Chains A and B, each alone.
Chain A
Amino acid sequence: MSDIGYGILVLCLVVSSYGAIASFVGARRPSRRWLQSAKNALLVTTVLVTLAAAVLLYLLLSHDFQATYVYRHTSTHLPLIYTISAFWAGEAGSWLLWLWFLTVLAAIVVWRSERLRKIGPYVLATLAASEAFFTLVLLLISNPFETMAHLPAEGVGMLPLLENPGMVIHPPILFLGYAGYTVPFAFALAALISGEVTGDWVKAIRPWNLFAWLSLGIGIIIGAWWAYVELGWGGYWAWDPVENASLIPWLTGTAFLHSAMMQERRGMHRVWNVVLATLPFVLCLFATLVTRGGIVVSDLHGFSSSVQPIAYLLLGFIAIILGLTAFLTYRRRLQLTGERGMESPFSREGAFLLANVLLCGIALIVFIGTTYPSFVQAFRGIQISLDASFFDRATGPLALVLICLMGICPVLAWRRLGSDSLRGLLPGAIGGPVFAAGLFLLGVRAPLPLVSGLISTFVVLSLLSVLVQDLMARRRSTGEGHLRAFVKLLFKGHRRYGAYVVHFGVVLITIGVTGSMSYKTEQLVALSPGESTTVGGYELRYTDHSMETLNAEPETYQSRIRLSTTLDVYVGDSRVATLTPQKNFHYAMENPWVTEVAIRGTLKEDLYVILASLDEDGVAAFQMVINPLVTWIWIGGGVLLAGTAIAAWPRRRRTAEEG
Chain B
Amino acid sequence: MNALLDIRDLTLDLPNGTRLLHGISLRIASGETVGLVGESGSGKSLTARAVLGLLPDRATVGGAVAVNGRSPLAGATERQEIRRHEAAMVFQDPRAGINPMRTIGDHVTEGLRLCEGWAKDDARTRAVELLSAVRLPAPADHLSQHPHELSGGMLQRVMIAGALSTSPGLLVCDEPTTALDVTTQAEIIQVLRDLCEQSGMGMLFITHDLNLAGSLCDRLVVMKDGAIVEEGAARDVLVAPTAEYTRRLVAATPRISGEISPPTAVSGAEAQLIVTGVGKTYRRRGAEPVSAVIDADLVVPRGGALAVVGESGSGKSTLARMIVGLEEPDAGAITIGGRSMAGIPRSRAERLERAKSVQMVFQDPYLSLDPRIPVGRAIEDVLRLHGGRTGNDAAERVRELITAVGLGEEHLTARPRTLSGGQRQRVAIARALAVEPELLVMDEATSALDVSVQAQVLDLVARIRREQGLTLLFISHDLAVVRRVCAETIVMRRGEIVEAGATERLLSDPQHEYTRLLIDSVPVPIT
B is a partner of A? no
